[in-house]
Amino acid sequence: MVSRETSAPTTTVTPTAGDPSRRQDDVWPRPPQCRIITVANQKGGVGKTTTSVNLAAALSMHGQRVLVVDLDPQGNASTALSVEHRGDIPDVYKVLVDDLPLKEVVKEVPGMPGLYCAPATIDLAGAEIELVSMVARESRLRKALAAFDSLELDYIMIDCPPSLGLLTVNALVAAEELLIPIQCEYYALEGLGQLLRNVDLVRAHLNPKLTLSTILLTMYDGRTRLASQVAEEVRAHFGQTVLNTVIPRSVRVSEAPSYGQSVMTYDPGSSGAMAYKDAAREIAYRGAQV
User: Is pLDDT of 78 > 80?
Assistant: yes
User: Is pLDDT of 139 > 80?
Assistant: yes
Residue 11 covered by a domain: no
DSSP string for 47-90: SHHHHHHHHHHHHHTTT--EEEEE--TT-HHHHHTT---STT--
Give the residue numbers spanning the domain of 183.
26-288
Q: Which residue has the higher pLDDT, 86 or 207?
A: 207
**Per-chain mean pLDDT for the chain:** 88
Mean of pLDDT values over 181-205: 89
pLDDT of 86-109, one tens digit each? 778 899 999 999 999 999 999 999
Residue 268 covered by a domain: yes
- What is the pTM assigned to this prediction? 0.89
Q: Which residue has the higher pLDDT, 288 or 12?
A: 288
Is residue 134 a contact partner of residue 140, using CB atoms and an 8 Å limit?
A: yes
Residue 153 covered by a domain: yes
- Give pLDDT, residue 100: 96
Residue 65 covered by a domain: yes
Q: Which residue has the higher pLDDT, 14 or 53?
A: 53
Count: domains in the chain: 1
Residue 98 covered by a domain: yes
Mean of pLDDT values over 249-276: 91
User: Is pLDDT of 2 > 60?
Assistant: no
What CATH number corresponds to the domain at position 238? Answer: 3.40.50.300
Residue 3 covered by a domain: no
Tell me how crowded residue 43 is: count the other CB atoms within 10 A of its CB.
19
Residue 2 covered by a domain: no
Q: Please report, as a single letter, which amino acid is at residue 256.
A: A
pLDDT of 8-46, one tens digit each? 333 333 333 334 444 445 889 999 999 999 999 988 888
Residue 1 covered by a domain: no
**Pick from 97, 120, 150, 100: which is nearest to 49 by CA?**
120
Is residue 252 a contact partner of residue 263, using CB atoms and an 8 Å limit?
A: yes
Q: Which residue has the higher pLDDT, 22 or 138?
A: 138
User: Is pLDDT of 281 > 60?
Assistant: yes
